Amino acid sequence: AQAVLSRVCWTGRTQSWPSLFPPAHWTFEVGKMGVESSLPVTAKESGSGSAPEGGLAWGSSCMQGWRESMEDAHFAVSSLGGRLEGVAAFGVFDGHGGGAVSALCRERLPAELANGTNKDDSSALVAAFEKIDRLLASGETPGLTRDGAHLCGCTATVCLVRPEAFVVANAGDCRAVLCREGVAVPLSEDHKPGLPRELERIKAAGGFVQEQEVGPIKVHRVNGGLSCSRAIGDLAYKANARLKPCEQMVCSTPDVKEVAREELGDEFLILACDGVWDVMSSQDAVDFVRARIGSGQPLSGIADDLLDRCLSPNLQWTYGLGGDNMTVMIVALNLADVDTPATTAGTPTPSESEEACPETSPAPLEGEAKA
């Protein structure tokens, strides 16, 4: 989750990793990736759901892989409720330094969106992301102290699906992609420390970006540590009281992008963490899913297969690519194109729900008025 690796051209171009790689029976560690496992954990938690009134069906899968623990989280809500009644929402969170912040986002963000007072989606998404940061700074989060949140955080991508548009908020290097007539359309931009506008903000806040090389791969890190430039949590990078939240060295303020829907051309969405995108390009992932969707295979099964495709058989040979936690969500935008089993197969997980978001509002932070 901490590793943000430039994609190498020879990964993700074939149907499977080269079979010549020998099995791995050793401990592997590269840079500060935190990979330390003798064999990958390939068991998956998969789930599925549908929103017939919106013509949506989805399937998800998550896998621990080569990491010592699972730090990803995700949610799927068919209707957020409140001002966003009838609006479906999907979120993927890639944790680092532990899974506490990603789990908090999974639990709190849907309710924050449903019960927020902002009148437009963009403002509501920004407010919800920044609210989680304030909650972490308050030290009032169960199971996670303020000190614990200094080096624990997560990247986040949340997509609202309206009948007329997709509204996507992104902070970090999770990613949302739309398949439109077979072409991958980016709905978010990865926030890497080496990007000019990210680098400018980091330097203005008193930080620096260090470049590391791992074989053919270049990794950029904020102050030599965090390899993403936006995240929820990571309070150690947000300690300058003179700066606004969006000006901090690492900020939680998301970019928000709205894309109008095209009824005839839009086929499905893919939301995934960087464990997938390190190995597959957006178009690779779209091609993989498109070749299987509508074939009778459940969406959750397609998601399972995609993660198997991305898993490295040997981390030394792949320079750590394919060694991260992995989570992917596939959202079909036309229920008629998906066979019935796709909406029912798979084992539901606590991170998914086919029900509307609870109407009860989360307790406000101290000093904040109730909505």
What are 126-169's pLDDT values in tens digits?
999 999 999 999 888 776 766 677 889 999 999 999 999 999 99
Calpha distance 219→197 (Å, rounded)? 17
**In this model, does residue 315 exceed pLDDT 60?**
yes
**In this model, does residue 75 exceed pLDDT 50?**
yes
- Ordered by where they begin, the domains of the chain are 41-343 (3.60.40.10)
What Rg do the C-alpha atoms of the chain give, in angstroms?
A: 19
Mean pLDDT of the chain: 83
**In this model, does residue 236 exceed pLDDT 50?**
yes
Q: Residue 348 has what pLDDT?
A: 35
Q: Residue 26 has what pLDDT?
A: 30
Q: Residue 117 has what pLDDT?
A: 86
Which amino acid type is present at position 268? F
Q: Residue 20 has what pLDDT?
A: 33
Calpha distance 187→161 (Å, rounded)? 12
Calpha distance 43→70 (Å, rounded)? 11
Please give the helix or strand (H or E) that residue 309 lies within, else none. helix 299-310
Q: Residue 206 has what pLDDT?
A: 96
Per-residue tokens: 358: 């609870």
Give the residue-averaged pLDDT of 353-365: 37
Give the residue-averaged pLDDT of 300-323: 94
Per-residue tokens: 183: 């072409």
Calpha distance 174→254 (Å, rounded)? 12
Q: 183-186 and 175-180: which strand pairing? A: antiparallel
Give the residue-averaged pLDDT of 43-66: 95
Q: How far apart are the first and last CA of the chain?
A: 34
Instruction: Residue 299: name the closest of 274, 331, 325, 273 by CA.
Output: 331
Report whether 321 contacts 12 (CB < 8 A).
Answer: no
What's the whole-model pTM score?
Answer: 0.84
Q: Which range, of 17-21, 46-50, 110-114, 263-267, averages the lowest pLDDT? A: 17-21
Give the residue-averaged pLDDT of 322-345: 77
In terms of pLDDT, which residue wins out, 327 or 34?
Answer: 327
Residue carrying structure tokens 């969707």: 293
Pick left, alpha or beta for residue 215 (phi over 0 → left; psi -120 to 50 → alpha; otherwise beta): left
Q: Residue 163 has what pLDDT?
A: 95
